[in-house]
Amino acid sequence: MSSGADRKASAGDNIVNEQPIEISSDSSVEDNSNCEAPSDSESEVSVLSSLVDSSDSHDDQKLADEFSAILDIANKKYRHYMDLCTTAFKLNVFEKIEVAINEFQAFTTVPPHIWLRYLKALKVVTQTPAEWEIFKTKCSLALASFYDDQLAEFVVKSLMEQPLADHLQMWSKILADYGLERFDFVEEARRLVASLDEDNIEMIEQTLSANCVTWHYDQDQMEPIAKLIDEFKQKLKSNAENSSWLQESYLLRAETLSLSTNMKCTLTKLIYERCLAKYPTDSRLWLDYIAYMEKPKEPESEDLFHTAICDGYLKCKPMELISRVLQIKPTIAINHKYLELLEQSILSTEQVESEIKRQLKRLEPHMEMNVELQLDYLAYRVRHTDVNNEEEVKQLRNAFREVWDRLSELYGDLADTCFEVLQLWAQVEYAKLKSPDKGADIWCEIFSYPGSSVKAHLWLAYAQMEIQYNKSQKVSIVLRQALEALSMSPEVQIIVEFYRRHERCFGNYESIAECQKYCEAYMEQAGSYGHQSAWRQGNTRRMPAYQKPERKPPIKSSKKPLPAAKKTMPSSSQAKEAKESNFKYSSNMEKNKIFIKNLYPQCTKEDLISAFESFGVIKDVRLVYRPNQKFKGIAYIEFEKEQEAQNAVIGSNGIDIGGQIIDVAISNPPPKLPKGPSTSSGASAVGAAGDKRQTVKRRHQTSLIPTRFIITEVKRRKKLELDDDAAVSSTNDAANGNNTNNSNSNANANGNDNGNVNDSGKETAEQPPTASVSTGPKSNDDFRKLFNI
């Protein structure tokens, strides 16, 4: 027995990669792609008993307990069913093996290698004609799962032991599926037909040839087809992931062969079935397969591609393909295609509804797919409802209510958080059924659920429906209700702008003036105090309220303004009293206390109590202020129990209070630094904590004189000095002009002048400029003298 028999199946979804389970000594299968059927000479005595090996012996009681434990798991995954089959085969009890197979089959399509080992075990215990019929039924189910030539080979060898005429239908379907790749099956069938009486040969041969496209082919004609198939199998085996180019390239090559239309269609089916056997959960591959089978068989022909293919166990009609993939792994895209094919079929509305409900039952563990399929189903009902028929309209409304209640029952508030079902219902009431009042009732129900009234996009959708389908009769009321619900949240400006824009476009002078007045008063009032948050309401999805919310005038806040910042620090006695509270500083995690940050500036204890009292009993609430009495935006809330604090973190982290998204976590303060004697540098505490000392920078004395006055004065003084220098220079030039006749005197004078210039240059370099000395006032007294104050 192979050592891989004892390894449990992996948790992956690719069934081909699962380790096979050895159930008999005549099985030499090591993996799903390379397995050999047992020869006729091999003994089939006690396949179940041969499962037990000295190296694989297990305690029966322990295995039985393990089997029962896996069987009792509520929401089993794929790996659980693989483990269930593994344990059942190790137990060597056929009843448990059959239970495991039936459980697996109810969950998803059973992998071919599991079917193969089950059928080998079943064949051993098959003795009577009735048991043989059961064996044939199980073989049919196995062959309808995936394309697997080794599984087909086992069934063919089993059928060869029985008369051909008794199992003609099974032979026909097997040859329809595998006759193109396994030409040896066709030759074996020919041999059996040749051995029959002449009376039955013609009828049997006619039946087989009608289903098998290669019945009249010989080895030479099959050679190019076999070469193409072998090359494709090698390419497919070497590919780790599926790629559409592989199928497309070989489909194009198949078109180049000189084959009949039926042969090309059967070859296409083989290529896709081979790919699906390796990538069974690839929804894109399934959709490509369906799309190919929906193509016309010939250009400008009404016959589709799949009509040219003989039906075997592996069905390839679009509706049959979608049923196969839904059993394996449904996706949102597959569900869309499923409903499209149902609508294109000739089924009645009742039959479609029955099919949808059957599929929805399987999708209950998958919330997102369930909601999407429910929406598609409701859209289907809307398209097929006669709005002039009161009975059909009533059934449509009942369908919407049933879907919403069912989703609420299954998933609670987690399902359809955007209220798409109710929004679609409201849209249908406004647009299709011409019932704006009922549509408004549905919007009132939407806003009665927690957190919905603070979503601006919902209010805008409501207003748009009123504008488009109800002649804007209630738009002003709706938008004012939105402003009251949103308070000063970041999205309130969107509603204000929309309100003003709507009145400018559709209103008159009086309505525009009223709108402007209302919006200005609203913004002024909302800015003067922190409006109480509207994020939490008492209603829940399980108890919806159907009353329309009444428009109420804004209520003035009764909150007292925060005290002004005090210049003096609180006295030691006051500080001591402030410290003596229910909140004690702790360096450890306080599991019954939560820490809240990013609170809006006007937040009060009453706001926090109203927001968090639903999570448990609150012992104390503390808002943290700075020494100048300015709120820091953080707070602590202490509950009686740790579980209440945890529920508060889970249920309130990220909610909107007063227009700001808060952060909530379990209180876990950092280590508090030890207190020490104060020093002039203020670094004693830091030094005690072991950190590096930082030198406090000495601040320079600042002047109270404005800088621009100093700069102006400097410019003025500098200009005066430049004017004086220019006057002196002009006087010297005039004196030099009067002494031009005496050259010696001029030379001496020039020499003396140069010396004077150099000396003055030295003096200038050695002394600082006078402008920098007297650039401006140096004190407040000088500043007053400068301006004669």
Report pLDDT digits (tens) over 549-602.
Answer: 444 444 444 444 434 433 334 444 443 433 444 445 555 678 889 999 999 988
Beta strand 631-639 with 618-625 is antiparallel
* Cα angle 601-604-606, degrees, rounded to a multiple of 5: 155
On the question of pLDDT at 108 being above 80, the answer is yes
DSSP at 50: G
Tens of pLDDT, residue by residue over 203-219, are 888 888 888 989 988 88
Q: Quote the tokens at residue 551.
A: 């428009």
pLDDT for the residue 103: 92
Nearest to 125 by CA among 49, 50, 51, 46: 46
Q: How confident is the model at residue 26 (pLDDT cuts 50, 70, 90)?
A: very low
The kind and range of the H/E element at 121 are helix 112-124
What is the chain's alpha carbon radius of gyration, rounded to the nearest angstrom? 45
CA distances (Å), origin 100, targets 7, 46, 84, 95, 555: 17, 20, 6, 9, 67
DSSP at 788: T
The answer to whether residues 517 and 441 belong to one domain is yes
Give the span between the Cα atoms of 92 and 172, in whole angstroms. 35
Contacts of 190 (CB under 8 A, 6+ apart): none
Tens of pLDDT, residue by residue over 665-682, are 888 776 655 544 444 433
The answer to whether residues 542 and 619 belong to one domain is no
Query: Under the phi-then-psi rule, with left for phi > 0, alpha for psi from -120 to 50, and beta for the rest, what region is 46?
Result: left
On the question of pLDDT at 758 being above 50, the answer is no
User: Is 528 part of a structural domain of the chain?
Assistant: yes
DSSP bridge partners of 635: 596, 623
Burial class (CB in 10 A: 0-12, 13-18, 19+), 742: exposed
Tens of pLDDT, residue by residue over 222-241, are 898 999 999 999 988 888 77
The answer to whether residues 314 and 353 belong to one domain is no
pLDDT for the residue 487: 73
Which of 119-123, 419-423, 738-742 shows the lowest mean pLDDT across its residues?
738-742
Name the strands in the sheet holding 631-639, side by side, starting at the edge strand that comes first in the sequence: 618-625, 631-639, 590-597, 663-667
Query: Under the phi-then-psi rule, with left for phi > 0, alpha for psi from -120 to 50, and beta for the rest, what region is 659?
Result: left
pLDDT for the residue 718: 74
User: Is 677 part of a structural domain of the chain?
Assistant: no
CB atoms within 10 A of CB 621: 19
Q: How confident is the model at residue 538 (pLDDT cuts 50, 70, 90)?
A: very low
- The most confident of the ranges 35-39, 82-86, 732-736 is 82-86
Beta strand 631-639 with 663-667 is unpaired
Tens of pLDDT, residue by residue over 500-516, are 998 898 888 888 998 98
User: Is 672 part of a structural domain of the chain?
Assistant: no
Q: Amino acid identity of 399?
A: A
Coil/strand/helix, residue 348: coil
Burial class (CB in 10 A: 0-12, 13-18, 19+), 361: exposed
Average pLDDT, the chain: 75
Task: Work out the angle between the directed axes of helices 642-652 and 605-612 (0-180°, nearest 10).
Answer: 100
pLDDT greater at residue 711 or residue 334 = 334
The answer to whether residues 49 and 130 belong to one domain is yes
Q: Quote the tokens at residue 414.
A: 């987690």
Whether residue 250 contacts residue 230, with contact meaning beta carbons closer than 8 Å, is answered with: no
pLDDT for the residue 36: 37
On the question of pLDDT at 751 being above 50, the answer is no
Handedness of CA 99, 100, 102, 107 (dihedral sign): positive
Residue 474, CB half-sphere, CA atoms under 13 Å: how many?
20
The DSSP secondary structure of 180-243, one letter per residue, reads TT-HHHHHHHHHHHHTS-HHHHHHHHHHHHHH-TTTT--HHHHHHHHHHHHHHHHHHHH-SS--
On the question of pLDDT at 115 being above 90, the answer is yes
Nearest to 172 by CA among 270, 315, 310: 310
The answer to whether residues 341 and 371 belong to one domain is yes
Tens of pLDDT, residue by residue over 364-402, are 888 888 899 999 999 999 999 999 999 999 999 999 999
- Average the pLDDT over 70-84 and give the result: 90
User: Is 555 part of a structural domain of the chain?
Assistant: yes
Contacts of 244 (CB under 8 A, 6+ apart): 284, 285, 288
The answer to whether residues 172 and 250 belong to one domain is no
User: Is 690 part of a structural domain of the chain?
Assistant: no
pLDDT for the residue 589: 76
Give the span between the Cα atoms of 512 and 594, in whole angstroms. 48
On the question of pLDDT at 43 being above 80, the answer is no
On the question of pLDDT at 787 being above 90, the answer is no
The kind and range of the H/E element at 142 are helix 129-143
- Average the pLDDT over 79-95 and give the result: 90
User: Is 743 part of a structural domain of the chain?
Assistant: no
Give the span between the Cα atoms of 360 and 367, in whole angstroms. 10
On the question of pLDDT at 739 being above 60, the answer is no
Identify the domain containing residue 392 by its residue range: 330-414
User: Is 647 part of a structural domain of the chain?
Assistant: yes
The answer to whether residues 75 and 43 belong to one domain is yes
Contacts of 481 (CB under 8 A, 6+ apart): 459, 549, 551
pLDDT for the residue 293: 86
Tens of pLDDT, residue by residue over 296-311, are 766 666 666 667 677 8
* Cα angle 658-667-570, degrees, rounded to a multiple of 5: 75
The answer to whether residues 182 and 81 belong to one domain is yes
The DSSP secondary structure of 412-464, one letter per residue, reads GGGTTTT-HHHHHHHHHHHHTS--HHHHHHHHHHHHTSTTTTT-HHHHHHHHH
pLDDT for the residue 19: 34
Percentage of the chain modeled with pLDDT above 70? 69
The answer to whether residues 53 and 161 belong to one domain is yes
CB atoms within 10 A of CB 415: 19
Domain end residue (candidates: 611, 641, 667): 667
Coil/strand/helix, residue 638: strand
pLDDT for the residue 587: 57
On the question of pLDDT at 349 being above 60, the answer is yes
Q: Burial letters for 495-509: b for 16+ Cβ neighbours within 10 Å, e otherwise?
A: bbebbbebbeeebee
pLDDT for the residue 680: 40
Handedness of CA 775, 778, 782, 783 (dihedral sign): positive
On the question of pLDDT at 737 being above 80, the answer is no
Give the span between the Cα atoms of 669 and 30, in whole angstroms. 59
The answer to whether residues 173 and 291 belong to one domain is no
- State how far Cα 400 lies from the chain centre: 25
On the question of pLDDT at 141 being above 90, the answer is yes
Which of 409-413, 489-493, 546-550 shows the lowest mean pLDDT across its residues?
546-550
User: Is 571 part of a structural domain of the chain?
Assistant: no
The answer to whether residues 311 and 358 belong to one domain is no
The answer to whether residues 315 and 363 belong to one domain is no
Give the span between the Cα atoms of 589 and 667, in whole angstroms. 6
Tens of pLDDT, residue by residue over 395-444, are 999 999 999 999 999 888 888 888 999 999 999 999 999 999 999 999 99
pTM score, whole prediction: 0.58
Domain end residue (candidates: 269, 301, 329): 329
Tens of pLDDT, residue by residue over 517-526, are 888 888 877 6
Helix ranges restricted to H, 329-389: 332-344, 349-362, 367-383
Tens of pLDDT, residue by residue over 314-332, are 988 888 999 999 989 889 9
Give the span between the Cα atoms of 210 and 221, in whole angstroms. 18
Domain count, the chain: 6
CB atoms within 10 A of CB 782: 11
Domain end residue (candidates: 525, 559, 593): 559
Task: Work out the angle between the directed axes of helices 332-344 and 318-328 (0-180°, nearest 10).
Answer: 150
